[in-house]
Amino acid sequence: MIPTDRVVIVGAGLGALYAALVMAPRPVLMISPDPLGQGASSAWAQGGVAAAMDPADSADAHAADTVRAGAGTVNPEVARLVTAEARAHILTLTTLGTPFDRDPAGEYVLSREAAHSFARVVRVKGDQAGAEIMRALVAAVRAAPSVQVLEGFVATSLLLEAGGVAGIHLARAMGSQPVAIRAPAVLIAGGGSGGLYSVTTNPPRIRGEAIGMAARAGAVIADAEFVQFHPTAIASGEDPAPLATEALRGEGALLVNAAGQRFMTALHPDAELAPRDIVARGVYAEWRAGRVPALDCRKALSARILTQFPAVAAACVRAGIDPVRQPIPVAAAAHYHMGGIETDWDGRSSLPGLWACGEAASTGLHGANRLASNGLLEALVFARRAALSIGAGPAAAPPVILPELPPAPLPDPTLVMRLREAMTAGAGVLRDAVGLQAALRVIAEVEAGQSDCPQLQNMTATATLICAAALLRRESRGAHARTDHPHTAAPHRSRMTLSQALALRPAPEPEPL
Ligand code: SIN
């Protein structure tokens, strides 16, 4: 056991970096699985940060859109709080060096995304917002003497003492036995769960491990069933699937099928700019029917796509698609987990000593269907609030020095792929009780297949929570679409512990003799 006076931050994405900077000069130990700035979903975010920056727009209008998109389960007070703080965070990111796009008059260029009543997404070079914000924050963290970054390490479980969180166990990301670190506070900012699905836009490390770790320690998990599917992941066979940002549809790109027909016009008056869950189901239906859904950018963007959306253009080139002349084939892919570790307005979880922010947390902002580009915004707002809530401490602490850690196996890739395929088949865009129960059975088998691997147990814990909460929610709402319960019931958020979820999971099938 290694004691430290540093606050431990699990993860190294937007929320983690921002919280470390807000906490400075309080010493922090940041656990980054990859070299700092790589491997976090924040760096892959294309759209940008939603904020009412136009004088004709307002935080109240942004809050109202957030509530409307969330399908009845957004906490309106949280929406007002977050949208009211948005502008200040954009100004802070600007001061930290984020090169947001500006017009000749120096005003922020604002993109339009689905279900926003106003163009209010602050962006960088079209689709580079996540990468550029992360670049600015990584530079600031590297220059902050209070932050010690352990690169190439992962947290595997929480250290529990006297009913609270007293630290973490961490291991080498490439596989080692864990070592315990005792710390005054732990902030989980380790991302969501999209990578638990076989079709996802999330980086390979984002597989529900952060949420699962908290769940295994007994934290309450809220809205676990609400997983958002992005309608326009590029269907090129790459894993993870590259994203074709919603901002392309904001620019007028159209969704068409193999016959060249627009299919969204029949499904919603806003067609391609309908709420994301509706567009995702539209794309999924075309794909299931074999009609090859595609995003046609030819008329709306033409060659502009190459310079204004460089990440999308590069993904097309990798797949042999010419987006100037060809529609881009797309699929619905797991993209964002609205559910997560339940937190209060200060990022505090149900466990003493544990805070959470970013996609790992569930604050009540997103409801059943997150409004586009509210994800990075929520991470900023709650990273700051959590950092302030953790509060001041000693102004200095020696760096944590780790001993040599003996090797230990990583999660078995065959088991991980089985888990991901089961989630896509049973807990995907459309769900029913039979499929969810089948997924729960596979999850139990996967877990039993490597019961001594904490990283895999963290993944199966989150997968169990998603399926169990989806099974209990006998209605359809936002991104949670039950074909056996297509109606909408009275709105409510779900709250569940892992032991409650496990009670709904069938035992694994015994091995045949
Ligand atoms: C996108 O750019 O389409 C994704 C933005 C988001 O998920 O908020």
Best mutation site among 49, 128, 230, 380 for ligand 1, i.e. most ligand atoms within 8 A of its Cβ? 230
Domain-embedded: residue 328: yes
Question: In this structure, are 238 and 330 located in the same domain?
Answer: yes
What ligand 1 atom has the least distance to the C-alpha of 374?
8
Confidence at residue 102, expressed as pLDDT on a 0 to 100 scale? 95
Alpha-carbon torsion angle 158, 159, 163, 165, nearest 10: -60
Instruction: Domain of residue 239: give its range.
Output: 229-334
Domain-embedded: residue 5: no
Confidence at residue 366, expressed as pLDDT on a 0 to 100 scale? 98
Unique residue bearing structure tokens 């209990």: 472
pLDDT digits (tens, 9 = 90+) for 62-99: 999 999 999 999 999 999 999 999 999 999 999 999 99
pLDDT digits (tens, 9 = 90+) for 27-36: 999 999 999 9
Question: In this structure, are 330 and 423 located in the same domain?
Answer: no
Domain-embedded: residue 178: no
Last residue of a domain, which of 294, 319, 334? Answer: 334
> Residue 347: CB within 6 Å of ligand 1?
no
pTM (predicted TM-score): 0.96
Domain-embedded: residue 313: yes
Domain-embedded: residue 303: yes
CATH of the domain at 441: 1.20.58.100
Domain-embedded: residue 31: no
Distance 445 CA to ligand 1 centre (A): 34
State which amino acid sits at residue 370: R
> Residue 372: CB within 6 Å of ligand 1?
yes
CATH of the domain at 293: 3.90.700.10
> Residue 363: CB within 6 Å of ligand 1?
no
Res. 233: pLDDT tops 90: yes
Instruction: Tell me which of 26, 205, 276, 385 is the catalytic residue.
Output: 276
pLDDT digits (tens, 9 = 90+) for 141-177: 999 999 999 999 999 999 999 999 999 999 999 999 9
> Residue 245: CB within 6 Å of ligand 1?
yes
Question: In this structure, are 237 and 328 located in the same domain?
Answer: yes
What ligand 1 atom has the least distance to the C-alpha of 373?
8
Domain-embedded: residue 181: no
Confidence label for 513 from pLDDT (cuts 50, 70 and 90): low
pLDDT digits (tens, 9 = 90+) for 399-429: 999 999 999 999 999 999 999 999 999 999 9
Best mutation site among 14, 46, 277 for ligand 1, i.e. most ligand atoms within 8 A of its Cβ? 46
420 is catalytic: no
Give 269: exposed, middle or buried? Use CB within 10 Å, 0-12, 13-18, 19+.
exposed
Last residue of a domain, which of 284, 299, 334? Answer: 334
Calculate mean pLDDT across residues 252-271: 97
Helix (H) or strand (E) holding 434: helix 433-449
Distance 337 CA to ligand 1 centre (A): 13
pLDDT digits (tens, 9 = 90+) for 433-449: 999 999 999 999 999 99
pLDDT digits (tens, 9 = 90+) for 350-362: 999 999 999 999 9
> Residue 373: CB within 6 Å of ligand 1?
yes
Domain-embedded: residue 78: no
Confidence label for 58 from pLDDT (cuts 50, 70 and 90): very high
Give CA separation, 372 vs 142, 273, 276, 301, in Å: 30, 11, 8, 21
Last residue of a domain, which of 311, 334, 357? Answer: 334
Domain count of the chain? 2
